[in-house]
């Protein structure tokens, strides 16, 4: 019986002489099951925990390659102490990269270190020099340009001190590092992935617009009418104009105003009841115009530096062509009817969900993927996906990867007001951004806790929040009284706490607040009827919105979330937080009470801001244009919601004057 016969095969490595272990590589999501996310132009900073037994020197490299490449690029990992190693690589292409770690015992560096220590201790190192010569011979065989070095190390005619100096010289060390012995290198047991998207995935401002409400009073608007609205949206400073579904709307079970179960002959119905005799998900509503009109709208938006986002809702009206062409894609009930959508107490008799447990699921998946492909072929690269949490995670992981393979610049927003882990699962499966619970977080403790949950730890590696104060479906209780201060504070919070945010307009800037009794929705809901908007109304928030969006564009600190930091205030009605990017520091202080003035002391965490503790701080109010000098950590702030609910300050340190004068807002 051999010595290895008693070893369990599951415990025996392929080569037990490989002594280096890579214990962990970061960043990673769920052990590499899902990719981390970055945007074009960022770097991927990788850390690894690499160990070996004893005192030998380790060498390690980070290997990475784009999915379109066959060969790996290597970057040396640098030792950061305590068995931690790090390296960074630039991300210059959209799509997926893979990365892993290769590590090995650096035999020559280990020998050098031992040689130097023994020599400095007065030990005879003649044999050690002969060992080094053998190592140099092996490196020369691998291609190292070290002619004569091995002979020099062996030569008794060269003084020991000179041979040692030669062996540990920078020249020899550098050449040996170029041709290491990686015979027993250990490769990390997983290839991790990073998805690289456009910067718009990290920072964007969305404006939701119903094209059918852009016509004259009582007249169904068209794409040509909506085109005239683009200048207004551009003046507000948004990046994306988002259109609810633009497809034909079914007649069967069409809803009337405010989700009334019966529609009148002129009621337009809900755009989310997709499909009619005029077509389905790849057609446009004939009252909006033609596909050519839509293409013209997209071009006009692009000329104004706006991207068009389409709402993709995977559901069908009873009149959708697929209902007759593919009846097995829908769930039949025992009485022969098809199950319509419900979210008790709401009922959507005009909407049929797809049955993802159909035996014909592969054809269904392909058809739904091809909806994205159809619109992407027409130049659309941003999609808001309706209720993705009611479709299988496996479908999204496959579908979004398929679309990204063809259109790596595509961006997907998940409209998923659902359980946290399900929201995270959607983000991991490929969604670029996600709706959040911000809509209902109103108190300082709730906002602080929620933002720390989604901007700390592992969550930001895969989850990008998009904050919406309201939507056509949701009008929260704290806005029902229609206080201007409430709308302004929610705007500032959404636009500065999150680098991605959106508003449902013109409803939001006109502070529409009539709530339909019994549900968390606006009355006269635009989902079910045409609306006419007075965009020139004197009390509109349009100028505040435009200013906030300009501030976002001017300040890189607001274009990401990783630096978000909360600062202490002695008032529960005042919330203070900052973001920074290099020398750009933005401090926001918001009054959470829409009716009453509140004052309080704000205590700045100067270390978190990167400011010296002994310097004055120049404070520029980007909303009100006032300037102040703060000379202490604690400063008094007062906010009147009847004037303005928030300060958005740009901070800059300055040399303290010899005779300072106190100045606080």
Q: What does the alpha-carbon distance between residue 520 and residue 417 come to, in Å, rounded to a whole number?
A: 14
Which segments within 432-507 are labelled E, that is strand?
Answer: 433-434, 500-504
Compute and round to an integer the Cα radius of gyration of the chain.
Answer: 31
Residue 114 φ/ψ, nearest 5 degrees:
-65, -40
Residue 420 φ/ψ, nearest 5 degrees:
-55, -45
Of the candidates 28, 208, 386, 521, the residue annotated as catalytic is 386
414-438 b/e (C-beta count within 10 Å ≥ 16 → b):
bbbbbeeeebbbbbbbbbbbbbbbb
Assigned token pair, 562: 């990783």
SS (H, E, C) 69-128: CCCCEEEECEEEECCEEEEEEECCCCEEEEEEEEEEECHHHHHHHHHHHHHHCCCCCHHH
Q: What does the alpha-carbon distance between residue 408 and residue 337 come to, in Å, rounded to a whole number?
A: 41
**Among this protein's residues, is 446 annotated catalytic?**
no
For tokens 């050449």, what's the residue?
175
269-286 b/e (C-beta count within 10 Å ≥ 16 → b):
bbbbbbbbeebbbebbbe
Which residues sit opposite 26 in a β-bridge? 47
Residue 500 φ/ψ, nearest 5 degrees:
-115, 130
Helix (H) / strand (E) element for 324: namely: helix 321-325
SS3 at position 53: coil
Tell me the C-alpha to C-alpha distance, in Å, between residue 330 and each of 181, 281, 314, 362, 392: 61, 16, 12, 14, 15
- How far the first Cα of the chain sits from its last, in Å, is 86
Tell me the C-alpha to C-alpha distance, in Å, between residue 111 and each of 95, 163, 164, 374, 513: 43, 14, 11, 62, 76
Assigned token pair, 449: 């806790």
Tell me the C-alpha to C-alpha distance, in Å, between residue 107 and each of 76, 103, 327: 17, 12, 68
Residue 352 φ/ψ, nearest 5 degrees:
-105, 125
Assigned token pair, 519: 């549900």
Closest CA to 353 of 363, 362, 343: 343
Of the candidates 106, 128, 350, 415, the residue annotated as catalytic is 415
**Among this protein's residues, is 415 annotated catalytic?**
yes
Residues in the chain, total: 665
Concatenated DSSP letters of 371-434: HHHHHHHTT--EEEEE-GGGS-HHHHHHHHHHHHHH-TT-EEEEE--S-HHHHHHHHHHT-SEE
Cβ count within 10 A of residue 363: 13
SS3 at position 298: helix
Catalytic residues: 386, 415
């Amino acid at each position: 019986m051999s010595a290895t016969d008693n070893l369990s095969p599951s415990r025996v490595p392929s080569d037990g002489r490989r002594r280096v272990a890579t214990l962990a590589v970061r960043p990673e999501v769920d052990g590499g099951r899902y990719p981390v996310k970055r945007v074009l132009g960022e770097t991927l900073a990788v850390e690894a925990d690499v160990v070996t037994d004893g005192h030998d020197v380790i060498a390690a490299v980070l290997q990475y390659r784009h999915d379109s490449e066959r060969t790996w690029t290597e970057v040396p990992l640098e030792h950061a102490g305590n068995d931690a190693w790090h390296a960074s690589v630039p991300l210059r292409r959209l799509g997926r990269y893979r990365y892993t770690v290769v590590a090995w015992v650096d035999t020559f560096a280990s020998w050098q270190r031992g040689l130097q220590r023994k020599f400095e201790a007065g030990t005879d190192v003649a044999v050690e020099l002969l060992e080094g010569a053998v190592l140099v011979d092996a490196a020369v065989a691998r291609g190292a340009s070290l002619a004569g070095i091995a002979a020099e190390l062996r030569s008794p005619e060269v003084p020991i001190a000179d041979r040692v100096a030669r062996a540990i010289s920078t020249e020899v060390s550098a050449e040996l590092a170029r041709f290491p012995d990686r015979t027993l290198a250990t490769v990390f047991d997983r290839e991790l992935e990073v998805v690289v998207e456009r910067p718009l995935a990290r920072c964007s401002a969305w404006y939701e617009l119903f094209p059918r409400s852009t016509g004259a009073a009582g007249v169904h608007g068209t794409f040509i009418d909506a085109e005239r609205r683009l200048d207004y949206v551009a003046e507000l400073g948004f990046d994306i104009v988002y259109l609810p579904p633009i497809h034909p709307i079914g007649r069967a079970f069409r809803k009337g105003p405010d989700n009334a179960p019966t529609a009148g002959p002129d009621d337009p119905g809900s755009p989310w009841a997709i499909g009619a005799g005029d077509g389905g998900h790849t057609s446009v509503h004939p009252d909006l115009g033609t596909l050519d009109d839509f293409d013209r709208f997209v071009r006009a938006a692009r000329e104004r530096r706006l991207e068009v986002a389409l709402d993709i809702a995977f559901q069908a009206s009873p009149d959708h062509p697929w209902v007759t062409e593919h009846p097995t894609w829908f769930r039949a009930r025992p009485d022969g009817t098809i199950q319509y959508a419900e979210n008790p107490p709401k009922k959507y008799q005009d909407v049929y969900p797809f049955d993802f447990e159909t035996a014909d699921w592969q054809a269904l998946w392909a058809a739904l993927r091809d909806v994205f492909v159809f619109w992407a072929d027409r130049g659309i690269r941003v999609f808001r996906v309706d209720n993705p949490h009611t479709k299988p995670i496996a479908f999204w992981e496959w579908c979004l990867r398929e679309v990204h393979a063809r259109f790596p610049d595509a961006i997907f927003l998940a409209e998923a007001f659902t359980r946290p882990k399900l929201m995270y699962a959607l983000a991991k499966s490929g969604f670029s951004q996600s709706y959040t619970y911000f809509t209902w977080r109103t108190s300082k403790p709730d906002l602080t806790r929620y933002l720390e949950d989604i901007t700390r730890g592992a969550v930001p590696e895969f989850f990008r929040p998009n904050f919406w104060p309201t939507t056509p479906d949701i009008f929260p209780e704290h806005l029902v009284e229609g206080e201007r201060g409430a709308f302004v504070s929610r705007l500032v919070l959404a636009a500065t706490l999150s680098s991605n945010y959106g508003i449902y307009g013109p409803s939001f800037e006109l502070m529409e607040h009539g709530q339909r009794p019994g549900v968390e929705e606006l009355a006269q809901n635009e989902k079910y009827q045409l609306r006419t908007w007075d965009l020139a109304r004197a009390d509109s928030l349009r100028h505040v919105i435009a200013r906030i969006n300009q501030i976002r564009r001017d300040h890189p600190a607001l274009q990401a979330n990783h630096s978000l930091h909360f600062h202490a205030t002695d008032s529960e009605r005042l919330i203070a937080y900052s973001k920074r990017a290099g020398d750009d520091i933005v401090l926001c202080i918001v009054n959470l009470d829409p009716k009453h003035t509140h004052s309080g002391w704000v205590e700045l965490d100067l270390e978190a801001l990167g400011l010296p503790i002994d310097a004055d701080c120049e404070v520029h109010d980007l909303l009100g244009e006032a300037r102040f000098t703060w000379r202490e950590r604690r400063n008094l702030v007062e906010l009147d919601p009847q004037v303005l609910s928030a300060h958005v300050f740009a901070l800059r340190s300055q040399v303290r004057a010899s005779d300072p004068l106190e100045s606080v807002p």
